[in-house]
């Protein structure tokens, strides 16, 4: 797809880490000319390979801005909107979908958004191996794969192990913001996060946050879910400490 050494790698971590259970499915779809151009031009400056080889210097990447990690960003429209609305926060957006990576870089370039960086690879490896403890001002997980079949629930990214890993990389007071349009997954998220000793629910009643909490814009997946009659749930939990 790209010349050697150019653009995001197909599998940056290779077999260096045990990844027996993945929370995502690699999606292969066509990269447009505009997306490919953005990846070729901008990846060297704004792209990060999740290879687990070194801890990231987030201050250097974002010029000292507080940094929020977004896990899974689709085609990047909502990410770009959040970056534009809050230029004082850096967004490290992690995904494995090449067209989405290219589209987000294109949007950031066209809109002059210097606070966006794209990470290519497994977000669990990124958190565990490459993000320093206590470094993040927030973590966002919007509309992850719900893995609706019972036998696949182990693949859901929101698990107790993930929650505590994310907490270890977040500063006290940082926000973990999740959203889903799959009602059983929303209940699962609420149960897992409520049970965590590292987080407190910001909702006074201990339930869901207001729709599109914290200024979250609508995402493409959200609009598709709403068109199907799904109920969208936001969850907003604060890191204790």
Catalytic residues: 145
**Who contacts 224 (Cβ-Cβ below 8 Å, separation ≥6)?**
none
Query: Residue 141: is it exposed, middle or buried by C-beta count within 10 angstroms (0-12/13-18/19+)?
Result: buried
Give CA separation, 33 vs 1, 37, 99, 105, in Å. Answer: 11, 6, 10, 13
Residue 106 corresponds to which tokens in the numbers above? 């294109």
Cα–Cα dist 161/217, whole Å: 28
DSSP state of 20: S
Phi, psi of 107 (to 5 degrees): -60, -45
Return the H-helix or E-strand segment holding 33: helix 33-46
- Residue 205 has a CB neighbour count (10 Å cut-off) of 6
In what helix (H) or strand (E) does residue 194 lie, and over which residues does it extend?
helix 183-195
Tell me 227's DSSP state.
H
Pairing of strands 116-120, 47-49: parallel
CA–CA separation, 119 and 134 (whole Å): 19
């Amino acid at each position: 797809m790209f010349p050697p050494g150019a653009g995001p790698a197909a599998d940056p971590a290779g077999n260096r880490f045990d990844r027996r259970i993945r929370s995502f499915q690699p999606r292969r779809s066509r990269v447009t000319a505009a997306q490919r151009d953005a990846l070729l031009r901008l990846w060297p400056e704004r792209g990060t390979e999740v290879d687990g080889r070194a801890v990231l210097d987030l201050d250097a990447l974002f010029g000292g801005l507080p940094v929020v990690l977004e896990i899974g960003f689709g085609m990047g429209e909502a990410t770009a909107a959040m970056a534009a609305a809050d230029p004082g926060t850096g967004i490290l957006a992690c995904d494995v979908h090449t067209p989405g990576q290219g589209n987000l870089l294109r949007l950031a370039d066209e809109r002059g958004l210097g606070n966006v960086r794209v990470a290519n690879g497994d977000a669990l490896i990124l958190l565990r191996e490459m993000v320093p403890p206590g470094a993040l001002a927030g973590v966002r997980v919007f509309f992850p794969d719900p893995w609706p079949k019972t036998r696949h629930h182990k693949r859901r990214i929101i698990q107790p192990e993930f929650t505590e890993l994310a907490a270890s990389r977040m500063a006290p007071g940082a926000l973990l913001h999740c959203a889903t349009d799959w009602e059983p997954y929303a209940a699962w998220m609420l149960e897992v996060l409520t049970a965590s000793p590292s987080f407190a629910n910001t909702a006074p009643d201990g339930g869901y946050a207001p729709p599109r909490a914290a200024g979250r814009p609508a995402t493409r997946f959200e609009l598709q879910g709403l068109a199907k009659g799904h109920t969208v749930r936001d969850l907003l939990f604060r890191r204790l400490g």
